[in-house]
Structure 1
Amino acid sequence: MAMDFTHAEITASVIDAAVRLHQELGPGMLESAYELLLADELSRRGHEVERQRTVRIVYRGCTVDKAFRIDLLVDRVVVVEVKCCERRSPVYARQLLTYLRLMKLEVGLVLNFGLPTMKAGIARVINTQAR
């Protein structure tokens, strides 16, 4: 059973877990491995975590049942996109912002485990339209 956490508490917990995971295992694994291990660690910390959740969108009466798939949804309010690339790319944050807008959620994180340090691979994305 998940506890009630604030956005700040959830993102702090996700970032802490990602940093620890990166410090222990380093860069170079598949995104799916980082995603699974991060989800497990967050569950151990008392968070409700959904992996590979499909999201439906409706646009002008047209419904797309599986419009996209998010890596992690933490406590039903924070979307986490896991990457493992050698560089940061602004497209990841833009993609996450689109997901947040379509889901009407406020906060998300892009975590790129492919960089030398986890700190360099963290991008917090805020959807100001959800407020």
Structure 2
Amino acid sequence: MIENEIAKTVVDICFRIHKKYGPGLFESVYEELVCYELSKAGLPYVRQQGIPLIHEEIRLEVGFRADVIVSNRVIIELKSVEVLADLHYKQVTTYLKLTKLKLGLLVNFNVPLIKDGIHRIVNNL
């Protein structure tokens, strides 16, 4: 499954979850629900995956933890915050660079309309 197909499925999942529960839950709850729905959709994923960082001669085993990586192709960074900051977008961009993945979805569930909370971020390798 290519990145755009994965992203479409993830967006559909986020819409359904937000329609049912709305804003205001903990990020960890949304993560659990998204992963449950990914399983139902037959998409493989990993949660809280530690990603190494290599700097010159040193290797840090965990440079960051990705909330969810779907099919080893798309990173999903989940938030439940009042307002997304520029830092959140840059965070996903950094994650994409370190993993060499092409597409990330920054999803903030703490919005009245989920369409305003979903953001595609592309790694321009």
Q: Structure 2-normalised TM-score? A: 0.97
The structural deviation recorded for 1:43 is: 1.2
Number of the residue aligned with 1:28: 24
Number of the residue aligned with 2:121: 125
The structural deviation recorded for 1:117 is: 1.0
1:52 aligned to which of 17, 23, 48? 48
Aligned ranges 1:1-131 → 2 under 5 Å: 5-129=1-125
The structural deviation recorded for 1:46 is: 1.1
Once superposed, what is the RMSD of the aligned Cα atoms?
Answer: 0.7
Residue type of the alignment partner of 1:32: S
Rounded Cα–Cα distance in structure 1 between residues aligned with 2:58 and 2:22? 43
DSSP-derived class of the 2:112 partner: coil
Residue type of the alignment partner of 1:91: L
Structure 1 consecutive aligned stretches of length 4 or more whose deviation exceeds 4 Å: none
**Structure 2: gaps of 5 or more residues:** none
Residue type of the alignment partner of 1:30: F
Rounded Cα–Cα distance in structure 2 between residues aligned with 1:19 and 1:80? 14
Residue type of the alignment partner of 2:12: D
Residue type of the alignment partner of 1:21: I
